[in-house]
Structure 1
């Protein structure tokens, strides 16, 4: 129930010394998702760099078994 009408909300946050205000959908698609995937990818890269044996299938785990 907390998400009912969430697409109608307005998100406001500081950006480069000013206040940026966006509709929730715009915030999610243009700021939230890219920021989330940047951090997930960076964590994956760091973990691989320190020697953990991860591969593409570990990153794309959602698809594991779909194409077999």
Structure 2
């Protein structure tokens, strides 16, 4: 199996926000959580817990954003 972009999730103090996702996006999060569990041999994480690490990974790999942030 190919390596997923996310690894095991860290437990960090959260900031509460509310978002609405399309049902298809949530189903994709559920499927990703299952894939992550099978790849890491850990318990399946709550799909909601994947959102923050995915956003962090996206922001961290966005070269244009990194350039703008350095200015």
Does the pair score TM above 0.5? no
- TM-score norm. by structure 1 comes to 0.38
* Larger gyration radius, structure 1 or structure 2: 1
Higher relative contact order (CA 8 A, sep 6+): 2
Structure (1 or 2) with the greater strand fraction: 1
- TM-score norm. by structure 2 comes to 0.37
